[in-house]
Chains A and B, each alone.
Chain A
């Protein structure tokens, strides 16, 4: 049974609290960012990349704790190095990318847990790392997320044509003058930084849901690319705000609440989506 039922007065009280306002704002921005980046990542088949990066980020956080640094400061360079490393390995190695990602992320996770087990003060706090602590988001964190949203949004807007062509067919894109190698690298670095920054709010286990679920829901119902990206971003933001409100109202953990709302959105999209696939001859 739930500990507390829904109470509008209780929710109004919560909304008056500054940390709840910051949390809602953080959810809104993270959701927008996840949906925006996710709409491209899902088409590029990079959804597993964001999942693997999320898990590997735990190693970055553990290193930060061990060195006594602000985890966010460690996470950004860690994520960029991870993206560059995976890109390099995938280009060089004869192994499929998903297998490589699996090796990198499970070993990072193992190392991170070993490191954390040596740090006494964090033995109890691992749950916060795994599922995020959106109520602990500071104004500084919000500023960083906003800057990132503007940066990533600007980059995707300006390079929209190159991004879509690369997603369709790489030789076709290069023949149209797209700097394929540069844009491929740039995109996964941006994706990595976004995942790293969102981890504080969402946690390492659920971060990939922010990237994958709104984009997939939008993909099922959209009839054009501009609508697709817009719907994914709005769905990401809307689900985050609804999920946080629900978590406040019913006193539930915030990250999982958001993901459950995203799941509901996805199921709704499945219902609404056209069922008959046009026949391919």
Chain B
């Protein structure tokens, strides 16, 4: 049996009195690539943030790399180091005086208090290598706030790859990218997943991309509606159950999205 990277059992999450995610259970095996799909407001971002301990949960258990997530989101630092999270977007207000190399270095540093110059040489080497892996060597000295959306996503991937990780959690990684840039981003992600041995959980709206690249799908609309391989979970009948009747009509008009 493959190693379990993430085990979620009976997870329920509430926000301001109402239940947003209810009784969700699933597991991710090592080096699987799983998409979390569902309509807007289905609780996808809430679910991934609760798994990472960013949002509190009301009930249920989360185990990351075999370690239970504490009630207030605590995890041993050694486990945290192996889990990376890419938010939907990072909103920087105005000119932000942080260079790309400095930002990627933050992904290398461990949690807790430390003198900034500790491990300087090792950090520098790791940052250079990480930027090379995402094809962003030329960006090292640019300011994070000067990057285009596509460049920023690349740099965020460097932030993840700067240290060996086991699990990567992406919240709509393709948001804000045009079709070509999204394609480039996904092929880069695909290559890195292979070479780094990452397990991936990604929130996605792009069902076509999910069909082509993911090994598993979780369909969420407050609770888990279905799960399995893309062929099974994204069949027209399942999609109608998940998104409602109107969505299927739209789906048929989507260029390249039809499967016989």
Interface residues of A (CB under 8 A from B): 43, 45, 157-162, 164-165, 168-172, 174-178, 218-220, 222-228, 277-281
Q: Is the CB of A164 within 8 A of B114?
A: no
Task: Kindly state the separation between the CA atoms of A174 and B54 in the bound complex, as whole angstroms.
Answer: 6
User: Which of the residues A45, A176, A222 comes within 8 Å of B111, measured between beta carbons?
Assistant: A176
Task: Kindly state the separation between the CA atoms of A172 and B144 in the bound complex, as whole angstroms.
Answer: 15
Q: How far is the CB of A134 from chain B (nearest CB, A)?
A: 30
User: Which of the residues B54, B106, B115 comes within 8 Å of A165, measured between beta carbons?
Assistant: B106
Chain B, residues 86-125, CB within 8 Å of chain A (1/0): the string is 0100111111111100110011011111111000000000
**In the complex, the 8 A-B pairs of residues with the closest C-beta atoms, listed nearest first:** A177-B111, A175-B85, A228-B97, A177-B80, A281-B148, A158-B113, A222-B97, A224-B99
Q: Which single residue of chain A is at the shortest CB-CB distance from B159?
A: A172
Could you say which residues of chain B place their CB within 8 Å of the CB of A228? 97
Q: Is the CB of B111 within 8 A of A172?
A: no
Task: Kindly state the separation between the CA atoms of A169 and B159 in the bound complex, as whole angstroms.
Answer: 14
Task: Kindly state the separation between the CA atoms of A159 and B92 in the bound complex, as whole angstroms.
Answer: 20
Task: Kindly state the separation between the CA atoms of A21 and B195 in the bound complex, as whole angstroms.
Answer: 63
Task: Kindly state the separation between the CA atoms of A221 and B49 in the bound complex, as whole angstroms.
Answer: 36
Q: How far is the CB of A276 from chain B (nearest CB, A)?
A: 10
Q: Is the CB of A168 within 8 A of B90?
A: yes
Task: Kindly state the separation between the CA atoms of A16 and B116 in the bound complex, as whole angstroms.
Answer: 40
Task: Kindly state the separation between the CA atoms of A231 and B248 in the bound complex, as whole angstroms.
Answer: 57
Q: Which single residue of chain A is at the shortest CB-CB distance from B45?
A: A171
Could you say which residues of chain A place their CB within 8 Å of the CB of B106? 161, 164-165, 176
Q: How far is the CB of B77 from chain A (nearest CB, A)?
A: 6
User: Which of the residues A176, A227, A278 comes within 8 Å of B80, measured between beta carbons?
Assistant: A176
Task: Kindly state the separation between the CA atoms of A219 and B94 in the bound complex, as whole angstroms.
Answer: 10
Q: Which single residue of chain A is at the shortest CB-CB distance from B148?
A: A281
Task: Kindly state the separation between the CA atoms of A43 and B90 in the bound complex, as whole angstroms.
Answer: 14
